[in-house]
Structure 1
């Protein structure tokens, strides 16, 4: 990946991932149906999030593991 931090011009980074809930029913059943990838600058900690696709299988897995 050719990353350059927009805040400090650093080129080292860490990749991460988070999952969040969406609407009312996903909150009630604690299903994390929205997935985001993150890129964090190792120097200044500036973080950008990018929406990632989630599959039905991962949503079903979330339902049974909570």
Structure 2
């Protein structure tokens, strides 16, 4: 499988930083502060342009997040 190299669509830079974050979605999730949406980010180190990619979350992790309150 060929691996693609990153290139920023805004400035052409080839260096990036990858990270991820979680967010709430829907009224029930907001009410109980359940972070049931997960995203991966890829940010250009030169201009800061960031792409978001939705990741799947499991019901088990959502329940655990609710119980722990994180």
TM-score (norm 1): 0.92
> Considering only CA atoms, is the larger Rg found in Structure 1 or Structure 2?
2
5 Å matches for 1:11-26?
11-26=14-29
1:45 paired to 2:48: yes
Gaps of 5+ in 1: none
Aligned-residue CA RMSD (Å): 1.0
Cα distance in 1 for partners of 2:64, 2:5 equals: 33
Aligned to 1:62: 65
Give the deviation of 1:61 after TM superposition. Answer: 1.9
Q: 1:6 aligns with which of 9, 13, 21?
A: 9
2:14 partner SS: coil
